Structure 1
Amino acid sequence: MRIISTIVFLSISAVLSRGVEKVHDLPIQAVSVAGRLFCGDEPLINVPVKLIDRDHGRDRDDLLDEKRTDDEGKFHVTGGTYERGTIEPALKIYHDCNDENVKCQKRLFWHIPQKYVSTDLHQIPVFNLGSINLELGFGNEKRDCRH
Structure 2
Amino acid sequence: MIDLDDTDRALLRALSREGDLSAGELGRRLGLSQPAAWRRVKRLTEAGVLRGLAVETDRAALGFGVTVFLGVKLAAKGRGSFEDFERAVMAIPEVQVVQHVLGLFDYRLRVVARDIPDFERVLRRRIMTLPGVGNVEANVLLSEEARPGPIG
Superposed pair shares fold, TM > 0.5: no
Instruction: With the length of structure 2 as denominator, give the TM-score of the two structures.
Output: 0.30
More helix as a share of residues: 2
Instruction: With the length of structure 1 as denominator, give the TM-score of the two structures.
Output: 0.31
